[in-house]
Amino acid sequence: MGKDSRLILDPLADNNPITIQVLGICSALAITAELEASIVMSISVLFVLGVGNVVISLMRNIIPSKIRIIVQLIVVATLVIIVDLVLKAFAYELSKTLSVFVGLIITNCIIMGRFEAFALGNGPWRSFLDGIGNALGYGIILIIVGFFRELLGSGTLLGFPVLGDPIEKTGLYALGYENNGFMLLSPMALIVVGIIIWVQRTRNKALIED
Amino acid sequence: MAVNTEKNSYTVIFAIGMVVIVGVILAGLFSWTKPMITQNEEIEKQQNILYAMGINENDESSAVFVSTEVASKEFASNIKEQMVITVDADGKMLKSQTRDEYMAENNNKEPYLIDIKKQKSNAKSGEPRQLPLFIGEKDGKKIYVAPIYGKGLWDAIWGYVAMDKDMVVQGAYFDHKGETPGLGANIKQRFFMDDFYGEHLLSDAGVFKGITVAKGNADPKNENKTDNEVDAIAGATITGDGVTAMIKSDLKLYVPYFKSLKK
């Protein structure tokens, strides 16, 4: 069991897909302007990566290695489209919320990365755990970035004003505080990720490459 | 029974098999869910139109439609008339039809199902364009709801704008296909849509000016309703410009109709 639990725990810290492997950066900067979008994206990736890893793992002995990347792409695209269609038919409101994430999930390199690096060489149960672990590791970073960008950029968390009202000048704004509009722009996501990487490597010197 | 997965013939057979299986699954699922999805989309259009004219279940901060169960009933009882105005490629009004007149022609479907995107491309190729206009009544005042359609940063954006007879906005609903969550996607949030309420589409002299989604607006509380401006969303410039453009290009076409009301 010790080995299995590492599959979940490693990606959370010392083998984090974003801060150590630097995968999935594209979505980390695209959708982290608000905490809510970060959470929705994390849950979606958790689902797709968990199921996708199991499917690829079950198919691992019959996939021709020459076209394995295309096969992986087809599997993830099919999964996402199936979920999208079913939601549109039976949970239309939810599908409206998720529709903008569909394209981002299919092209998320963490998903392809885990298929390629893990699911192709391991059994379904371990692949499932690996998928969940990596999605959680990805989600944690997304949520941290989303938290700071929404708090400092809009002064809200999950849409709820926590620092006061910038137009009526109440709370912190009465003291002359201003929202930093720069935080809402994509480059700041990379700077926040950079700070997380810095903190992480300062705490654990073993992570620093020569 | 080990299969040699490295052989070319195996690769080709696998690829063909995979495409066929995935194709069958997706095509089957698509045709099975299509009627339900179409119905959901029709109800959504009704909810959007009702939302724009102020019939919704908004709570303090978020936008909530009337529930899907009552949407069709509310739509039937609140929308008294669905006009279809036909204009030529230069925007000159050719004719205006009531719902019954329109539906009697060529077995047309309900006017609210008119595909605005298709009508726009008709106009581009020089053909006449049909403009639906939904007329309802709220608090004793006639409300006119017009659909608009345009382009955001990544994909299509669209919406419905409710106006009174003087083209003063009585409500607006915007939606998008794939704008950035947290930035452009916020055009469908209350804080953005509510700003349009009360804004004038015409200048004081009665000339159509539209409403500009303006950066660096000097009026963030939006108290000045005759400046033809609302406050933009930070980090969503191109989506905001798209909203400005679709209001200008699409609502302008209704001006001759509103002028004819005055006569």
* Mean pLDDT, rounded, of chain A: 86
Beta-carbon separation of A74 and B44 below 8 A: no
Residues of A in contact with B44 (CB under 8 A): 92
Beta-carbon separation of A185 and B181 below 8 A: no
Residues of A in contact with B29 (CB under 8 A): 82, 85-86
Tell me which residue has tokens 């999805």.
B37
Mutate to test the interface with B, among A45, A79, A88 (most CBs of B within 10 A): A88
Q: Judge whether residue A1 has pLDDT over 60.
A: no
Q: Encode chain A in three state secondary structure.
A: CHHHHHHHHHHHCCCCCCCCCCCCHHHHHHCCCCHHHHHHHHHHHHHHHHHHHHHHHHCCCCCCHHHHHHHHHHHHHHHHHHHHHHHHHHCHHHHHHHHHHHHHHHCCHHHHHHHHHCHHHCCHHHHHHHHHHHHHHHHHHHHHHHHHHHHHHHCEECCEECCCCCCCCCHHHHHCCCCCHHHHCCHHHHHHHHHHHHHHHHHCHHHCCC
pLDDT band at B217 (very low <50, low <70, confident <90, very high): low
Q: Judge whether residue A168 has pLDDT over 80.
A: no
Q: Judge whether residue B131 has pLDDT over 70.
A: yes
Mutate to test the interface with A, among B9, B21, B29 (most CBs of A within 10 A): B29
Residues of B in contact with A71 (CB under 8 A): 14, 18
| Predicted pLDDT at B2 | 60
Instruction: List the domain boundaries for chain B.
Output: 80-262
pLDDT band at B173 (very low <50, low <70, confident <90, very high): very high
Tell me the mean pLDDT in the region B49-68. 86
Instruction: List the domain boundaries for chain A.
Output: 2-207
Task: Choose the most confident range, by mean pLDDT, from A78-87, B92-101, B109-118, B144-153.
Answer: B144-153
- Output B218 or A15, whichever has higher pLDDT: A15
B23 and A CB contact within 8 Å: no
Q: What is the pTM of this model?
A: 0.78
Tell me the mean pLDDT in the region B213-229. 79
Model ipTM value = 0.76
| Predicted pLDDT at A130 | 93
Residue in A90, A100, A181 closest to B178 by CB: A100
| Predicted pLDDT at B139 | 84
Beta-carbon separation of B61 and A184 below 8 A: no
